[in-house]
């Protein structure tokens, strides 16, 4: 029997915690909606959380069970599946790659889904992204899929290729008729070493509705 590439945990958070998190993310409106994938934060796992997401990451780290984890890099994934703008890729320390050409990956890549949506399957594979193909999709389509569902947590080896399918669950290409519902998720990557240049949540003024009381960030 072939082992699945992904682990899926439904009802990952207590209902009250999940409801609070969803309300806070929705309260952000369209803040940094375009730059969301470039707005990432670092949280050392042995420190006190300063945001709701870090409280969640602390809870979910027990699911991952990797003793080498030094901390978490997290960001918001908010998109319409009619206009997927993220190509197939492997998570890495982008600043290190840009500086030295070194590919360093997280120990574990993961997503916590906040809602259901039209299409938007996560596709995970061992195959390499191919820049010659649409959305950099691997030439060989050998995927494990994860359907977005509210309070579903999924995680996989940080070296694996992954991407998001469109509203028809096809490789993204031409823009489709606009979907009313956003695909909302939080990416939480578990690292052995802090990625270069990633600030802590408290070092920025971004996403203040996610801040814990008394930890409003840089002034």
**pLDDT by residue (tens digit) across 148-182?**
999 999 999 999 999 999 999 999 999 999 988 99
For 34-74, what is each residue's pLDDT tens digit? 999 999 999 999 999 999 999 999 999 999 989 899 999 99
- Degrees, nearest 5: CA angle 136-137-139: 115
Query: Mean pLDDT over all residues of the chain?
Result: 95
Question: Domain map of the chain by residue range?
Answer: 6-210
Sheet hosting strand 152-157, strand order edge to edge: 6-9, 152-157, 108-113, 183-191, 71-79, 41-44
Model confidence band, residue 216 (pLDDT cutoffs 50, 70, 90):
low
Place of tokens 């389509």: 141
Distances (CA, A) of 175 to 16, 80, 112, 122: 36, 10, 25, 18
Region 16-28: mean pLDDT is: 98
* Cβ-based neighbour number of residue 76 at 10 Å: 23
Q: What is the pLDDT of residue 219?
A: 40
* Cβ-based neighbour number of residue 218 at 10 Å: 11
Cβ atoms 144, 92 nearer than 8 A: no
Region 176-201: mean pLDDT is: 96
- Burial group, residue 169, by CB count within 10 angstroms (0-12, 13-18, 19+): middle
Q: What are phi and psi of 78, to 5 degrees?
A: -130, 115
Region 85-102: mean pLDDT is: 96
pTM of the model: 0.95
What DSSP state is assigned to residue 186?
A: E
Which fold, 6-210?
Jelly Rolls (2.60.120)
Q: What is the pLDDT of residue 167?
A: 97
Q: Per-residue pLDDT for 9 more than 60?
A: yes
């Amino acid at each position: 029997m072939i082992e699945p590439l992904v682990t899926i945990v439904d009802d990952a958070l207590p209902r009250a915690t999940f409801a609070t998190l969803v309300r806070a993310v929705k309260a952000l409106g369209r803040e940094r909606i375009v730059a969301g994938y470039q707005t990432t934060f670092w949280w050392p796992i042995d420190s006190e959380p300063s945001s709701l997401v870090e409280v969640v990451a602390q809870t979910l780290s027990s699911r991952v069970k990797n003793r080498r984890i030094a901390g978490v890099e997290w960001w918001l994934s908010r998109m319409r599946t009619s206009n997927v703008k993220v190509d197939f890729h492997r998570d890495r320390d982008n600043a290190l790659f840009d500086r030295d050409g070194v590919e360093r990956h997280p120990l574990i890549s993961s997503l916590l889904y906040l809602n259901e949506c039209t299409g938007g399957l996560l596709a995970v594979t061992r195959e390499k992204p191919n820049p010659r193909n649409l959305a950099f999709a691997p030439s060989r389509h050998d995927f494990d899929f994860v359907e977005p569902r509210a309070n579903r947590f999924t995680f996989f080896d940080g070296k694996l290729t992954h991407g998001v399918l469109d509203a028809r669950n096809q490789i993204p290409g031409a823009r489709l008729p606009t979907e009313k519902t956003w695909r909302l998720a939080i990416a939480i990557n578990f690292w052995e070493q802090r990625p270069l240049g990633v600030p802590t949540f408290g070092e920025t003024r971004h996403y203040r509705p996610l801040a814990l009381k008394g930890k409003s960030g840089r002034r």
